[in-house]
Amino acid sequence: MARSPEPPRYYAAAGYHRPSPFSSVAASCVVAALFILLAAGGAAAALFLLYRPQAPAIAVTAVQLPSFASRNGTVAFTFQQLASVRNPNRSPLAHYDSSLRVAYAGGEVGSMYIPAGQIDGGRTQYMATSFTVPAFAVTSSATAAASSSPAQTITVPASGPSPAAVGAVALQQEQPPPQQQQVAALPVMEVDSLLVVKGKVTILRVFTHHVVAAKVCRIGVSPADGRVLGFRC
């Protein structure tokens, strides 16, 4: 078997050593491993940006109180709400443990859980919820508005204005105010609704990410007949 020629003696005297083939192979493996890691990291980042999980978008479209009762300083009603839930992800959204809660004056007065389901990627699903809120106490202003106010007699003291001035003021008060003033003077009972949608999104059928979305609405209700005067979310 032929042997490789030995280096000249002056190279050997200068400390020349022939490189080992094993060190070259190890260096090549290290470089290849680093390249593979960088490529895998870049691919993972691109997939994450492309399939980045996002929370669902909630929009409340309608609120109604089909039944309303007021008695002895308490009110009870049936709460109905229609909301749309959009899944902005490419993968389906499996929602569970979702709920709708109603609160008054900082305290919860009723709630219900929404059945589990699935929303396909890029699709919108409408959730219609309805449940009965048991009777709860309301503030004195709402209670007074719910009941008809009796006639009141105002007595003007002797040191007050003249009877002519009092008569003019009384005549002005008897005249019906403008329509805008009547609407502004209507008493309002405010209740809050909280819709929470929880779920998970599976990316590429491998990675699972949990998402949560919530929508709070303040609803103005007439304490006299339960009409919904408006809501803001």
Among residues of the chain, what percentage have pLDDT more than 70?
Answer: 66
- Per-residue pLDDT tens over the stretch 51-105: 688 999 999 999 999 999 999 989 999 999 999 999 999 899 999 999 999 999 9
202 compared with 42, residue with greater pLDDT = 202
Summarised one tens digit per residue, pLDDT across range 16-31 is 556 566 667 777 777 7
pLDDT for residue 18: 60
DSSP 70-136: EETTEEEEEEEEEEEEE--SSS-EEE-SEEEEEEETTEEEEEEEEPPEEE-TT-EEEEEEEEEEEEE
d(C-alpha 62, C-alpha 225), whole Å: 18
- Decide: 216 and 233 in contact? Cβ < 8 Å: yes
In the chain, the percentage of residues whose pLDDT exceeds 90 is 50
pLDDT attached to residue 181: 46
- pLDDT value at 121 more than 80: yes
What residues contact 183, with CB distance under 8 A and at least 6 apart?
A: none
Structure tokens at 67: 């039944």
CATH 1.20.1740 corresponds to the domain 57-145+178-232: no
The pair of three-digit structure tokens given for residue 194, joined into one six-digit string: 């909280």
Q: Which residue has the higher pLDDT, 53 or 123?
A: 123
Question: Which residues are bridge partners to 194 per DSSP?
Answer: 101, 216
Residue reference for tokens 């691109």 = 46
